[in-house]
Structure 1
Amino acid sequence: MRLSASGAELASLLPAHPPGGRVLLGITGAPGAGKSTLAAYLAAAHAGVVVPMDGFHLADVELVRRGLLDRKGAPETFDGWGYAALLARLRARPDHVVMAPAFERDLEQPLAGALPVPPTAELVVTEGNYLLLDDPCWRAARDSLDAVWHVETPAAVRVPRLVARHEDFGKSPAAARAWVHRVDEPNAALVDAARHRADLVLDLAGWAASFPG
Structure 2
Amino acid sequence: MSKGLSEDLTELTHLRQLVERARRLTASATPARRRLLGIAGPPGSGKSTLAARLVAELAGAAVLVPMDGFHLAEAELRRLGRTDRKGAPDTFDAAGYAALLARLRSPAPDTTVYAPAFDRRVEEPVAGSVPVAPDVPLVVTEGNYLLLDNPPWTDARACLDEVWYVDLDDAERVRRLVDRHERFGKARAHAERFVRTSDEVNARLVTAGRERADLVVRFAPDAAPEPYGGA
How many angstroms does 1:22 deviate by? 2.3
What pairs up with 1:160-175 in 2 under 5 angstroms?
160-175=175-190
Residue 91 of structure 1 corresponds to which residue in structure 2? 105
Give the structure 2 partner of residue 4 of structure 1: 9
Note if contact 1:157-1:208 (Cα within 8 Å) is conserved in structure 2: no
Among 178, 202, 212, the alignment partner of 1:197 is 212
| Cα deviation, residue 131, structure 1 | 0.5
Q: 1:103, 1:110 within 8 Å by CA — same for their partners in 2?
A: yes
Match of 1:75 in 2: 89
1:106 match: 121
Match of 1:54, SS state, is: helix
Give the secondary-structure state (helix, strand or coil) at the position aligned to 1:174.
Answer: helix
Number of equivalences: 213
Q: TM-score, normalised by structure 1?
A: 0.95
Distance between the aligned counterparts of 1:10 and 1:30, measured in 2? Answer: 19
Structure 1 residue 206, shift from structure 2 partner = 6.0
Say which of 153, 163, 175 aligns to 1:138.
153
Residues 43 and 123, structure 1, Cα contact 8 Å, conserved in 2? no
Q: Is the 8 A contact 2:46 2:224 kept in 1?
A: no
Q: Which amino acid aligns with 2:201?
A: P
| Structure 2 residues not aligned, in runs of 5+ | none
Q: Quick one: distance in 2 between partners of 1:19 and 1:81? A: 26
Distance 1:34 1:159 in 2: 11
Gaps of at least 5 residues in structure 1 are none
1:35 paired with 2:47, answer yes
User: What displacement does 1:123 show?
Assistant: 1.2
Greater Cα offset, 34-43 or 4-13: 4-13
The answer on 1:60 being equivalent to 2:74 is yes
How high is the TM-score relative to the length of structure 2? 0.88
Q: Distance in 2 between matches of 1:183 and 1:83?
A: 22
Aligned with 2:44: secondary structure?
coil
Task: Give the secondary-structure state (helix, strand or coil) at the position aligned to 2:152.
Answer: helix
Q: 1:11 deviation in Å?
A: 2.6
Tell me how large the CA RMSD over aligned residues is.
1.4
Moved segments of 4+, more than 3 Å: 206-209
Between the aligned partners of 2:150 and 2:142, the Cα distance in structure 1 is 17
**Is 1:121 the equivalent of 2:139?**
no
Preserved CA contact (<8 Å) 1:38 1:211: no
Aligned to 2:30: 19
- Tell me how far apart the structure 2 counterparts of residues 64 and 17 of structure 1 sit (CA, whole Å): 44
Distance in 2 separating the partners of 1:191 and 1:59: 22
Q: Quick check: 1:4–1:202 contact (8 Å CA) kept in 2?
A: yes
Judge conservation of contact 2:39–2:47 (CA < 8 Å) in 1.
yes
User: Corresponding residue for 1:182?
Assistant: 197
| Matched-pair identity in % | 55
State the one-letter code of the partner of 1:203. R
Residue-by-residue CA offset, 1:46-89 (whole Å, 9 max, x unaligned): 12100000000000100111111110000000000000000001
Moved more, 4-13 or 158-167: 4-13
Check whether the contact 1:30–1:187 (CA below 8 A) recurs between aligned residues: yes
